[in-house]
Amino acid sequence: MAARQHNARTGSVEEPPGLLLGGSDAFQGYREPCKSRKSTLESNMANSWRRPAIGFLCLYLVGAVIFLVSGAGGPSKGLEGTASNFDEGTASPALYLLEFSTFEGEERSLSKFSGQPLIVNFFASWCAPCVKEMPDFEKLHKTHGHRINILGLAIEEARQAREIVESTGVTYSVGLDKDDLLATLEGFAMPTTVFISQNGERLESHSGVLDYSGLVSRVEKLFGDE
């Protein structure tokens, strides 16, 4: 390091040339790369936890959608076993023991509809295709209600279900699926419609939209002799 110089003429002490300027420039040149490295490190640390967090959130959302759409849950209350108890083409008196709730919270069993073919349609206010097909079920109820029963079961709370029933104007029997009948009757998507014979035989579980002509066709095919 250069030594300080004494000015004999002025009596002052002079700093060696370039000490202050050179030192400041050198410090500034060192500080900028450090600042850049620090910014890069902070960015990498932020990305290291953001990517897994975003991935986990996506998986959670996909799982939630699958759960809502499939109606996954457990076996219906008061019944042993699974939906295999009600295989298509097999009459089962136990099917009439399955229960649903009214909008007022009272428990009812499917035995209320025994003696006539029964169509159970699962719906929800958040399911646009469900809402779209409900007027077709109402039309079927008016044209074929003398020989078949129709039961609409909502997989949501009573308030939302009642609003959809009122807005669509359906007059057939409705209720709430509180015991996961959707899964018990092997529905895997929304909407799902189940066709049950007069002696408790599950003839078909159809997942997807049905219009009036499709409903009439199935009624004639499945219930033609009843």
**Residues 188 and 156: beta-carbon distance below 8 Å:** no
Q: Are residues 210 and 179 in the same domain?
A: yes
Query: Is residue 172 domain-shared with residue 92, that is, in the same domain?
Result: yes
Residue 206, classed as helix, strand or coil, is strand
Q: 71 in the Ramachandran plot: left (φ > 0), alpha (ψ -120 to 50) or beta?
A: left
- 101 by DSSP, 3-state: which? strand
- What is the predicted pLDDT for the residue at 182? 95
Low-confidence ranges of the chain (pLDDT < 70): 1-93
Query: What pLDDT is stored for residue 225 in this prediction?
Result: 72
Which tens digit of pLDDT belongs to each residue from 55-87?
Answer: 555 554 544 444 344 333 333 333 333 334 555
Encode pLDDT of 132-158 as tens digits: 999 999 999 999 999 999 999 999 999
Domain of 59, in residue numbers:
16-70
Q: What is the pLDDT of residue 224?
A: 86
In a domain, 118, yes or no: yes
Say which residues have a Cβ less than 8 Å from residue 31's Cβ, sequence separation at least 6.
none
Is 207 strand, coil or helix? strand
Helix 128-144 with 212-223: angle, nearest 10 deg: 50
**Cα distance between residue 154 and residue 161, in whole Å:** 6
Same domain, 61 and 125: no
3 is a domain residue = no
88 and 178 belong to one structural domain = yes
What pLDDT shows up at residue 96?
Answer: 86
Please say whether the beta carbons of 133 and 155 come within 8 A. no
As given in the structure block, the two tokens for residue 169 are: 């104007």
Contacts of 179 by beta carbon, 8 Å cutoff, 6+ apart: 76, 77, 78, 98, 99, 100
Supply the pLDDT for residue 212: 98
Q: SS3 of 139, please?
A: helix
